[in-house]
Each structure stands twice: as structure tokens, then as C-alpha cells.
Amino acid sequence: MRHWFWLIALLLPALAACNQDCKLRVNGICYDKQRSSDPPLTAKWQIFDADSGKPLEGVWINFLWYGMSDSRGYRRCVGAVLGRTDADGRFEATAKVGSWRMGLPPKLFKRDYELLQFRQDDPLGNQVTARVAVQHYERDAYPAWFKRLEQLGYVYNGTTGSTTYYEKVYSTELIKDSMNQLADAQGGRKELWVTRRSLPYYAAAPGINAKCKNGGAENVGFDDRTVALLSYELAMHAYTYLCDAQWDTIPSGYARTDSRIFVHQALWLLDDEEHSYERAMKIIPDYLGKALSGESRALRPDERAAICGWLALHKKRKIHEGS
């Protein structure tokens, strides 16, 4: 009996170490090794508006599933998912078989919103410090953006060198239990999003709407109407950024903006990939005519008014009515 007691005592640390070493444990099952016999994983998100505390409906989520590794350790995609959060801010998708794993990172997008970027100082995780990065050369270039941040309760912290920050403290009560874990972990992942806060760098989420193109892949949510709606939302995201009057406060001599990206992506509203650029050239010839020179100035107020007035005629399209 004593022999059994000492054997169990010796094994307990090893068993505990095995339990701790598991990187993905769901409902007591360790998914570190791919096995078709395991229950299929479910990827789950819940997203909230950080300012209102309300669930955020309509966030687009797109990711790939990957199958078993081959003899060289290479894993091929076997499926893809495209969907949106519901009225409770939730979205979930379940793998077809137990061996499927999520491809990382997933792509998320919502028109006129962005993921809350933060620094976690509180060791208990009860709050985070939201941060909007500012380069030294941007301090005088984007006055309207910075004024808006101050109106939203952000405070400028200029003590960290060439990259400084506007900061605001947020509670993590809504997401604390799963804010730092992957979507396929037990309980899923929760995130806080905010209306656009960062300087206008990116017009749309790069890489969203990715399918798995391998033979026999299971692509879920990619019907023509849904894909068309996503394209429209991406175009409108660029349009609303481009046509914001805040651009008119940028000094005329500042030539380090990304406004050209917003122009090109807003042209998706035309649904005329072959001729949209030529048509836009007639509206803002001086701006687009200098594209090859690498100039990145913002549109002049008259140019912005012209292109936005023209694009406004293309904002409503039949396929999106009632969506």
C-alpha cells in the first residue's frame, strides 16, 4: 500500500505539469494534438462598444480553418468562415471535425469602428488605458482629430519620446473573463471596440473576405449577396473617412497622409473596377494626376467637396436596400 502511495505522490507533479503545458484546453480536453475523434472546436466572439457598454452588432469576422499537418508539418486550409455579430454582439462558428484548427489571425471589421488599442497597467485586469499613437511630425498636422479625442475624454501624454499617446482609462468589466484569450479557447473571446479614434491610416481591414481555395474546402457565409454587402461596407468605410471635414484642417504643405488610399477604396462604390479611376480623374485631375510622383498630400477642400459630391450619387445601390 505504501508503494502505491509513493508512486501516486511521484506522479502527481508530472500530471500537473502536463495539465499546465496544454496550450488549448476546452471542456477538459487538450487540443494541442489534432485528432478527428475530439469534439469539434467552436470559435466564439462577443464584442461591445466601449463607450456605451452595449453589444456591438454587425462586426464582420472572417477566418480560415486548417486541417491535419502532413509529414513535413505543413497544414492546408480546409475551410473558411465569413459572418457578422448578432444583436448581442455574438458570433460563433464550429469546425466540421475535431482535427480542424483556427488559422490566425482572424480578420474583423466594422464600418466607422476600430478595435480598442490599450495598455494593461492594472494587475487585476479591472481597467485598461486606451491609447492612440501620435508621431512627433503629426502633432501639428491633424488638429481636428486631436481636438475630437480631447472632447471624447482622452488626455495627451507626451512623455515617451518620438511616439507619444492620447490616453483614456476604460473599465474591462464587460470582457475581463476572456479579453486576452483566443476565440477557440473555452468561453471564446471578448473585445471592446470604439468609433474611429486613430489618425486616418487605413481605409479598410486588409485581407478580409478570404476564402480557402483548396479543392473540397468548406467556405461558409460567402453567398453573393453577403460578399457584395461586405464590399459596399468597406467602400462606405473609406467614403465616410474621406468625406470628413476634419481633412480640411490639415496644413496644405503636409504631404504624409494616406488620403490616396481612401480615394481608391471609396471608388469601390462605383462597382466599376476597370474604369472607376479614369472617371475619378475627370473629377479631381490635379490630385490623381500626381499619383505617380508619390505625393501624399490631403485633398484640398474644393477637391474633397467635388469627389465626395460625385461619390454621394453612388452610395445607394439596389442590392443593399433592406440589408
The enclosing H or E element of 95 equals none
pLDDT at 70: 77
Half-sphere exposure of residue 101: CA atoms within 13 angstroms, side-chain side: 19
Residue 315: the pLDDT is 85
- Structure-block grid coordinates of residue 30: 487538450
d(CA 228, CA 56) in angstroms, rounded, equals 21
DSSP 107-157: EEE-TTEEEPPEE---TT-SEEEEEEEEEGGGTTT-HHHHHHHHHTT-EEE
Query: Which stretches in the chain have pLDDT values below 50?
Result: 2-18, 320-323
Residue 205: the pLDDT is 81
Q: What residue ranges do the domains of the chain occupy? A: 223-318
- Tens of pLDDT, residue by residue over 248-287, are 999 988 988 988 889 999 999 998 888 999 999 999 999 9
Q: Determine the pLDDT at residue 323.
A: 45
The pLDDT, as a whole number, for residue 272 is: 85
- The overall longest dimension of the chain from CA atoms, in Å, is 92
CB atoms within 10 A of CB 185: 18
Q: Cis link prior to 206 (omega < 30° from 0)?
A: no
Please tell me the total number of residues recorded for the chain in this structure: 323
Q: State how far the Cα of 258 lies from the Cα of 243, in Å rounded to an integer.
A: 13
Asked if 62 contacts 50 with a C-beta cutoff of 8 angstroms, the reply is: no
